[in-house]
Amino acid sequence: MLKQLMAKFLESLKSILPITVLVIILNFTPIINLSTREMIVFLVAAVFLIIGMSLFNIGADMAMTPMGEQVGTGLTKTKSLGIVLFVCFVLGLFITIAEPDLTVLAGQVKDVINGPLLIATVGVGVGLFLVLAIIRIVGRTHLSNVLMFSYLVLFAIASVVLVSGNESLIALSFDSGGVTTGPITVPFIMALGVGIATVLGGKNSNENSFGIVAMCSVGSVLAVLILSVFIKNDLTYELPNYSIEGSIFPIILSNLLTTIKDVTISLGLVVAFFFIIQSICLKLPKKKLLKIGIGILYTYFGLIIFLTAVNTGFMTVGYNLGMQLASRSNHTILIIVAFVIGLLVVLAEPAVHVLNTQVENLTEGRVTKRSVLIALSVGVGASICLSVIRIIFDFSLLYYLIPGYILSLGLSFFVPRIYTAIAFDSGGVASGPMTSTFILPFAIGACVVLQGQEKILQDAFGIVAMVAMTPLITIQLLGFRATMASIVKRRIAMRRIIEADDEQIIDFM
């Protein structure tokens, strides 16, 4: 166990160190000037981020992934599709309601939309689309067909929101799709899909096991868009307090207590569901349950440490980075730094490592961790860069989303289906707690300087949606490149065979 813990610690160190070093370097340049207090809090938070991610990754391997797979296979043993769908709806609803990332987002927009109402709406959307995702696996329908229809409906409702005068809520709606699939939801739901697809997914079970995260993200966006049509509130956004003035210990204590409550509820619901299914149909041996129990503890303490650290140390630094970079007359520096931040910050998303491991295992190494991580990094870097450009020039998020999703859905016809399924899942995975607590404050800080506080909801929000969209394109381009390379290799091999054996006569006597 110590060896495994050390390996996870080194992996987490490699993930957190790049973004930490970037902030340190920027602070020693004339571009950025963070206070000594802010830097100390940031560095201490970075250390705890590494510890928290290490514990979480071990917990995901020992508990979250096995639990999801066992629940998936256990539900199929009931041989009742109705029971499977009902349990999945309830599971999607309650896990989403307790997702820490969604709570963070709801807290930041509570003056625009009632927090509990937003969370419940997203939960219903996720529950319904989790049911739809299971139906897709059972019916063995191609993911691209379901997604194409879903996005047509989604953008049709977005146009209704636009006409209703609530355009600024479109960005928030798409952001909700990104934060829904957080560090607790992703490992469990992805593994749930693997378990169900293994039994019911047919010969393409590996391909069918992906796509559930993507469907859940669509469900949350669609639900909030529908809610946005009926909202008549004042859409003035109240800027949160990002300062860490005064004594730091009350701030840490407040964040710690809030995080303990959120993680206890969220993880508790997952564990409760697992043990209900365990008592009904799984009947796993005590030795396996003990290992899962230890993994749950690792996950629990890892998430508490990780989320407390990121909420305490990274929000303030992200906001100040955005403000100070945007205050410079040369916006090119802001755009370049935004791209680099995007490249590095995805490495610190805990659920990304869960996705990469599962991708490599299910594809038997054909799609490597490294290739997916590079594609994700480039995609997220491009998304932050494009979002900053949108803040500078103040135009609608739909100018990005409509062509972006047309391109990503179009690519699905030209790449192997496994790449499409991985790509659409990776979009939800990439937009985790680091996005909502570091990247979003970065965008808000830049928007305050460039467009004013009244434009935050319209221009700064939407950056999570961009983080969720661009990997769909970059990972499918990775698949397109692999497909073309395979075609070229086959043609070269065939030409060599023909040239070498053109005169050869084969005698079968």
pLDDT tens, position by position, 144-161: 888 889 999 999 999 998
Q: Show contacts of 199-206: CB within 8 Å, 24+ apart.
A: 199/72, 199/73, 199/76, 200/76, 200/137, 200/138, 201/137, 201/140, 202/140, 204/140, 204/417, 206/362, 206/363, 206/418
- What is the pLDDT at residue 235? 67
- Interval 154-179 mean pLDDT: 86
pLDDT band with cut points at 50, 70 and 90 for residue 404: very high
Tell whether the model's pLDDT for residue 495 goes beyond 80: no
- What is the pLDDT at residue 223? 93
- What is the pLDDT at residue 202? 59
Nearest Cα to Cα of residue 43 among 265, 387, 312: 312
Least confident of 33-37, 165-169, 354-358: 354-358
Least confident of 80-89, 291-300, 350-359, 453-462: 350-359
Query: How confident is the model over 263-306, as pLDDT tens digits?
Result: 888 788 888 888 888 888 778 888 889 999 999 999 899 889 98
pTM here is 0.84
More confident residue, 373 or 1: 373
- Interval 377-389 mean pLDDT: 93
Percent of the chain with pLDDT over 70: 94
Tell whether the model's pLDDT for residue 474 goes beyond 60: yes
144: enclosing H helix or E strand: helix 143-163
pLDDT band with cut points at 50, 70 and 90 for residue 326: very high
CA angle at 474 for the pair 390 and 371, rounded to the nearest 5°: 135
Report the distance separating Cα 507 and Cα 464, nearest Å.
Answer: 65
- What is the pLDDT at residue 206? 64
More confident residue, 45 or 72: 45
Report the distance separating Cα 493 and Cα 509, nearest Å.
Answer: 28
Whether residue 126 contacts residue 179, with contact meaning beta carbons closer than 8 Å, is answered with: no
Owner of token pair 């820490």: 100
Whether residue 422 contacts residue 475, with contact meaning beta carbons closer than 8 Å, is answered with: yes
Percent of the chain with pLDDT over 90: 23
